[in-house]
């Protein structure tokens, strides 16, 4: 089980995956918006999205859990 | 140190034989084997700790062999490759072992920046065997490599923390979290091959022949049409180089890329922002990562190529507390102090303090190029007008405010920004067609008198 956390303060601009989706290492989970850039949040391993902790429009702080891959 | 004929091939010798393509008679001393030979034709000195002798623990004689091997490499002016698999200092030899380990560190520090020092960690490497590799230029970790100050048993006894070797010192913590390891390999042979590749890149650097520059794809092919969209700068780096390079610290501070590769046949060091991670912002870790890479390249005479697409230094509490000012300053210092040829290409945008750090003319770049449409400024125009026209904008709401920002930003860009202004000021030498990037960079490198820095490569 791997928690994917926000690397920086950002707005959640787009959610790409849903809970239960299979993902591979490097897949985009959500796209954040910060520093006027669209910043993809990537899976750091293969697995299934067991928890998706954010929705579009949320503000995440550095270190917040975005998703859990198991 | 005495010459001992080997009766049985130990793990250490077999690893050295796998590393070297030719070798000369070797030396074995108390759990350390030293060989000289070649890797892919490049002369090297190599040593390995022998885990079958007291777990590879470092004693007085073994440490002397490592220190002598390192000194020998300096005398010959060739790379030294160490293969580490050791529990650290020999307990039975007491403080004498500690003193001997200290002398290894002193020898490594004497050699630092003079000859490439490469480490391959193929098993647990604790204490002195952790700091030994850490003092060298590049650390390659094999699948069973573990690096820690002290192992899980002692950790549990002294602090109560329950952790296994993998989580304490494996590829994940050191490849991604700490930055101790530069390259993570999936097999021992791949790790040894990587060390050989590094030895060749740093020792046989080649020279650029401008008349025979291999054709490569247009490096702008990776750029998205939408400016806000992230893309993977690694593609751009590969297109600018003769082919895929060797990326160091790929998973640590991945918002900046540090890649050794060849351009026109010559070894160069590429530093590039990667918009795919953290929007390509510089932060505390990436500033430090780039700084160390710049100093290593400078020490070994490797020209520096900066590929720039950076929105700024990452702001905020997390970064300030993490030392973005102190650690970011390392890159400023490393770059400004460097003696090797330094060429910069702004591929998309370069703003603020990060503009300065990413190979700016003011810090000493020998040549600065930009692709058409590149944005270079203190900050993006719309952010700038939010500061400059704060009072005026405060009186407006909604669409009216948004329209005012657009109008003011355009005026601001016309007045202060724009690529032409950077060209007129002499901060950018030329706007180039992206397809001509390789020729422009190679041409700029050969124009500069080739020297190398006199600095050692302190593990920043």
Do residues A49 and A27 make contact, with C-beta atoms less than 8 angstroms apart?
Answer: no
State mean pLDDT over A27-42. 90
Tens digit of pLDDT for each residue in B381-394? 788 888 889 888 88
Q: Confirm or reject contact between A1 and chain B (CB < 8 A).
A: no
B1 confidence band (pLDDT: 50, 70, 90): very low
Q: Is A34 at the interface with chain B, CB within 8 A?
A: yes
pTM for the predicted model, two decimal places: 0.92
Q: Is the pLDDT of residue A65 over 70?
A: yes
Answer with the residue of higher pLDDT: B9 or A23: A23
Q: Which residue segment(s) compose the domain that A35 sits in? A: 2-69
Task: Please determine, for residue B451, whether its predicted confidence score (pLDDT) is greater than 70.
Answer: yes
* Strands B246-248 and B256-263, sheet pairing: antiparallel
Q: How far apart are CA B181 and CA B121, in angstroms?
A: 9
Q: By the 8 A CB rule, do B355 and B427 touch? A: no
State the first-to-last Cα distance of chain A, in angstroms, to the nearest integer.
Answer: 4
Which residues of chain A make contact with B279, given a CB cutoff of 8 A? 8, 34-37, 39
Q: How far apart are CA B159 and CA B383, in angstroms?
A: 48
- ipTM value: 0.77
Mean pLDDT score, B251-255: 96
CB atoms within 10 A of CB B93: 20
- List the CATH number of the domain containing A45: 2.40.50.100
Residue B230 has pLDDT above 80, yes or no: yes
CATH superfamily of B11-199: 2-enoyl-CoA Hydratase; Chain A, domain 1 (3.90.226.10)
> Is B128 designated active site?
yes
> Looking at domain B209-371+432-452, does it have CATH number 2.60.40.10?
no
Residues 6 or more apart whose Cβ sits within 8 Å of residue B45: B34, B35, B36, B69, B70, B72, B73, B76, B78, B79, B80, B81
Residue of chain A with shortest Cα separation from B228: A37
Say which of A35, A42, A62 has its CB closest to residue B312: A35
In chain B, which residues have their Cβ closer than 8 Å to the Cβ of A38?
228-230
Q: Express each pLDDT in B105-151 by its tens digit.
A: 999 999 999 999 999 999 999 999 999 999 999 999 999 999 999 99
Residue B218 has pLDDT above 60, yes or no: yes
Question: What distance in Å separates the CA atoms of residue B1 and residue B142, rounded to the nearest whole number?
Answer: 29
Mean pLDDT of the region B335-362: 96
Q: Nearest CA to CA, how far is A21 from chain B (Å)?
A: 22
Q: pLDDT category, B55, cuts 50, 70, 90?
A: confident
d(CA B429, CA B452) in angstroms, rounded, equals 24
Does the annotation mark B353 as catalytic?
Answer: yes
Residues 40-69 of A with CB under 8 A from B: 40, 42, 62-63
pLDDT at B2 over 50: no
Separation between Cα atoms, residue B274 and residue B279, nearest integer Å? 7
Q: Given pLDDT bands bounded at 50, 70 and 90, which one contains residue A15?
A: very high
Q: Which among A8, A42, A63 has the least Cβ separation from residue B314? A: A8
Q: B118 is written with which tokens? A: 């490469």
CB pairs under 8 A between A and B: 40
pLDDT above 60: residue B6: no
* B314 with A35: Cβ contact below 8 A: yes
Residue B415's pLDDT band, with cuts at 50, 70 and 90, is confident
Q: What is the DSSP letter of A10?
A: E
The alpha-helical segments, DSSP class H, found in B112-256 are 128-134, 152-159, 165-169, 171-172, 188-203, 233-240
Answer yes or no: are the C-beta atoms of A40 and B310 closer than 8 Å.
Answer: no
Q: In degrees, to the nearest 5, what angle opens at C-alpha B97 toward C-alphas B91 and B98? A: 100
Selected for mutation to probe chain B from A35, A39, A59 (highest B CB count within 10 Å) is: A35
Here the tokens at position B119 are: 């480490």
Q: Is the pLDDT of residue B7 over 80?
A: no
If one counts the domains in chain A, the total is 1
Mean pLDDT of chain B: 93
CA angle B109, B114, B117 (to 5 degrees): 65
- Distance of residue A26 Cα from the nearest chain B Cα, in angstroms: 11
* Nearest Cβ partner for B228 among A36, A42, A63: A36
For chain B, the straight-line distance linking the first and the last C-alpha, in angstroms and rounded, comes to 33
B303 or A39: which carries more pLDDT confidence? B303
- List, as one string, the DSSP characters of B321-344: HHTHHHHHHHHHHHHHH--S-EEE
Distance CA B358, CA B374 (A): 14
Whether residue B5 is predicted with pLDDT greater than 60 in this model: the reply is: no
Out of B278, B316, B383, the one facing A39 most closely (by C-beta) is: B278
State mean pLDDT over B405-421.
83
Yes or no: say if B197 and A6 are a contact pair by the CB < 8 Å rule.
no
CB contact under 8 A, A35 and B229: no
Task: Please check whether the two domains, B11-199 and B209-371+432-452, share a CATH topology.
Answer: yes
Contacts of A37 in chain B (CB under 8 A): 228, 230, 275, 279-280, 311
Residue B9: per-residue pLDDT: 61
Domain ranges of chain B: 11-199, 209-371+432-452
Catalytic residue, from B127, B132, B151, B170: name it: B127
Residue B127 among the catalytic residues: yes
Chain B residues near any Cβ of chain A (below 8 Å):
228-230, 275-281, 311-312, 314, 316, 318, 380, 383
The H or E element that residue A7 is part of is none
Pairing state between β B367-370 and B342-351: parallel
């Amino acid at each position: 089980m791997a928690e994917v956390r926000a690397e920086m303060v950002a707005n959640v601009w787009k959610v790409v995956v849903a809970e239960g989706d299979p993902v591979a290492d490097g897949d985009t989970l959500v796209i954040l918006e910060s520093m006027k850039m669209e910043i993809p949040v990537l899976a750091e391993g293969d697995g299934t999205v067991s928890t998706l902790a954010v929705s579009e429009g949320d503000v995440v702080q550095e270190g917040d859990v975005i998703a859990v891959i198991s | 140190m005495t010459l001992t004929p080997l009766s049985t091939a130990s793990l250490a010798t077999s690893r050295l034989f796998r590393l070297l393509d030719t070798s000369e008679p070797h030396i074995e001393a108390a759990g350390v084997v030293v060989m000289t030979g070649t890797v892919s034709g490049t002369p090297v000195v190599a040593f390995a700790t022998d885990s079958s002798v007291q777990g590879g623990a470092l004693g007085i004689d073994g440490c002397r062999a490592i220190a002598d091997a390192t000194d020998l490499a300096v005398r010959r002016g060739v790379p030294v490759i160490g293969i580490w698999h050791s529990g650290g200092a020999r307990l039975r030899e007491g403080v004498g072992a500690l003193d001997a380990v200290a002398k290894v560190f002193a020898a490594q520090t004497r050699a630092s920046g003079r000859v490439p020092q490469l480490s391959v960690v193929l098993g647990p490497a604790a204490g002195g065997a952790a700091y030994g590799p850490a003092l060298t230029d590049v650390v390659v970790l094999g699948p069973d490599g573990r690096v820690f100050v002290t192992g899980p048993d002692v950790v549990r006894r002294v602090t109560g923390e329950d952790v296994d070797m993998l989580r304490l010192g494996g590829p994940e913590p050191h490849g991604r979290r700490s930055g101790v390891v530069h390259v993570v390999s999936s097999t021992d042979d791949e790790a040894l091959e990587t060390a050989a590749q590094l030895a060749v890149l740093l020792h046989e650097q080649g020279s650029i022949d401008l008349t025979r520059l291999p054709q490569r794809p247009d490096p702008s092919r990776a750029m998205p049409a939408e400016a806000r969209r992230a893309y993977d700068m690694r593609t751009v780096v590969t297109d600018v180089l003769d082919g895929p390079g060797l990326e160091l610290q790929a998973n640590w501070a991945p918002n900046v890329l540090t890649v050794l590769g060849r351009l026109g046949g010559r070894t160069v060091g590429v530093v590039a922002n990667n918009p795919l991670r953290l929007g390509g912002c510089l932060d505390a870790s990436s500033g430090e990562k780039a700084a160390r890479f710049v100093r290593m390249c400078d020490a070994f005479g490797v020209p520096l190529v900066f590929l720039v697409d950076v929105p700024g230094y990452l702001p905020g509490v997390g970064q300030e507390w993490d030392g973005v000012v102190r650690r970011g300053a390392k890159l400023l210092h490393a770059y400004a102090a460097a003696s090797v040829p330094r060429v910069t290409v702004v591929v998309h945008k370069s703003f603020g303090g990060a503009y300065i750090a990413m190979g700016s003319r003011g810090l000493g770049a020998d040549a600065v190029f930009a692709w058409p449409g590149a944005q270079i400024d203190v900050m993006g125009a719309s952010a700038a007008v939010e500061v400059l026209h704060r009072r005026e904008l405060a009186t407006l709401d909604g669409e009216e405010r948004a329209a005012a920002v657009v109008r003011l930003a355009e005026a601001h860009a016309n007045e202060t920004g724009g690529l032409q202004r950077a060209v007129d000021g002499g901060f950018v030498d030329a706007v180039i067609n992206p397809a001509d990037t390789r020729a422009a960079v190679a041409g700029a490198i050969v124009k500069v008198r080739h020297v190398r820095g006199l600095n050692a490569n302190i593990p920043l």
